[in-house]
Structure 1
């Protein structure tokens, strides 16, 4: 029987509808880097924070399906930042409390939780540098929670910040949903989205995550193929 890998997260990881393409979540590409012994169940959804994911019973659904030896990847932050909305959370308060619920679900089923800090945005400062604070305190809050709970964390935020800096801001356009007027029927007026990925960008982010799992002492590393 295949082991299951669940992804809980927001739009940066989510499966996209045909109407949204070529926007692509990294979760759509993750199976490319895993052995055929793993079944990916991507529960990430557009616009969700830790708060709304739990409130909408999406975590409850994962709890019904996850079992011993399965894996739960947890990545939130982008929408938790929206503290002026009901979905928002404070990084060292309800954000950590909510993340702990995801961890508890996995551990209660004898499965393996893995926390992933948020992917960076392509966010330029006025001087052209990548904004090192574009996700605020949320990455550090997740890292602190992981240390407190003795749950492994991959600092995807730092990894993607470093990756973007190596590429340079012009090259990072190639990762994101940037289309000119008339280039794609789903976006007739064009789009310049510096948060969400195109097919190529999603593949690159999934690769970065998979490569770093492979380097960890984690049960999932045995199933990574990259």
Structure 2
């Protein structure tokens, strides 16, 4: 069997970060730690991108030029698709779904396998036992596309919601960019960020992705080490 390359498309919650941004990391940055060396992971996620802007900037076209049979295209958008600017905004049940289909068709046209991932939950507690559903209808819209186009879905919205509720309002801060002043030289004034992951959070979320791949019997499981 061909040793696959996994191409990651998404936003800041998935993207790689330089050492100058540590401890902030996207979960895609930690994904290689769960795979054997036979698998190559190309993290093409970019901060601030939506399913629309990623396409309009030619980023999928660039990936498609490198995709070959047996590769994988991981697709996770939703955080920025609701932003009120023309460059990024999509409608969940029309343009967003149409964009997802474009990614799916691009992968399949090269003999690669698309995988859809709903966006991770923001750490927005309404009370100790309730999180604000900050992604609107985007997660459900992606579930519909996965079902109608027979694409593997990793429901990270549901999984990370469960994780955050298990941890609660205080312990869940340990996964996000909540830093005390002086804790990090890169963030001397500290940080209070309920969207972006720190290194521990990125490691945990990447692990959830790999657990889902194994549970759903993805061919990738033979290269996963959990």
Alignment of 1:130 with 2:133, yes or no, is no
Match of 1:180 in 2: 180
Shift of residue 168, structure 1, vs aligned partner: 1.2
Aligned 1:65-214 pairs, distance under 5 A: 65-125=66-126, 127-214=127-214
Matched residue SS, 2:49: coil
Aligned length: 225
Q: CA deviation at 1:18?
A: 2.4
Q: Give the alignment's TM-score, normalised by structure 2.
A: 0.95
Matched-pair contact (CA < 8 Å) for 1:122–1:130: no
Return the alpha-carbon distance in structure 2 between the equivalents of residues 57 and 130 of structure 1: 39
CA distance in 1, matches of 2:202, 2:35: 15
Question: What is the rounded CA distance, in whole Å, between the counterparts of 2:215 and 2:148 in structure 1?
Answer: 22
Q: Which runs of 5+ in 2 are unaligned?
A: none
**What SS does the corresponding residue of 1:168 show, helix, strand or coil?**
helix
Q: C-alpha deviations, 1:39-83, integer Å up to 9, x for none?
A: 000000100000110011110111011100001111010001213
Name the stretch that deviates more: 99-108 or 184-193.
184-193
The answer for unaligned runs of 5 or more in structure 1 is: none
Q: Which 4+ runs in 1 deviate beyond 6 A? A: none
- The 8 Å contact of residues 83 and 90 in structure 1, kept in 2 or not, is answered as no
The answer to whether the 8 Å contact 1:11/1:46 transfers is: yes
**What CA distance in whole angstroms lies between the structure 2 residues aligned with 1:84 and 1:11?**
17
1:25 aligns with 2:1: no
C-alpha RMSD of matched pairs (Å): 1.3
Distance 2:177 2:219 in 1: 34
Match of 1:53 in 2: 54
For residue 21 of structure 1, report the CA deviation from its aligned partner.
1.5
Distance 2:95 2:106 in 1: 17
TM-score, normalised with respect to structure 1: 0.95
Q: Is the 8 A contact 2:125 2:132 kept in 1?
A: no
Identify the residue that residue 16 of structure 2 maps to in structure 1: 15
